[in-house]
Amino acid sequence: MRETIAELLEIDVASVRGEQLLREDLGMDSLTSLELLSTLSREMKVDLEMEDAMEIVTVDDTVRFVERHLAC
């Protein structure tokens, strides 16, 4: 997941840490959030709603989000 986020933001994967805020710390804007949601949707093969993006605030949230959907 850190690799995916780093690739979307075009930054070094080593600079992506779990507790970081996607927007404030990593500079993720609304478009990149949608790109992330799209990537997650494709990789997990599930339909996601815009509202799903609202609960993802940190890198760790993204990991938990994926784990929860994969467990379903």
Q: Can residue 4 be called a binding residue for another protein (CB under 8 A)?
A: no
User: Which of 12, 25, 29, 60 does the annotation list as catalytic?
Assistant: 29
Q: Is residue 52 among the annotated active site residues?
A: no
Q: Can residue 26 be called a binding residue for another protein (CB under 8 A)?
A: no
Select the span of 16-24, 42-50, 55-63, 64-72 touching another protein (CB under 8 A).
42-50
Q: Kindly report the number of other CB atoms within 10 A of residue 55's CB atom.
A: 11
> Among residues 23, 25, 35, 69, which is the contact residue for another protein, using CB under 8 A?
35
Please provide residue 21's backbone torsions phi and psi, each rounded to the nearest 5 degrees.
Answer: -80, 130
Question: What CA–CA distance (Å, rounded) separates 51 from 56?
Answer: 10
Q: Shortest distance, CB of residue 47 to another protein, whole angstroms? A: 6
Question: What CA–CA distance (Å, rounded) separates 6 from 26?
Answer: 9
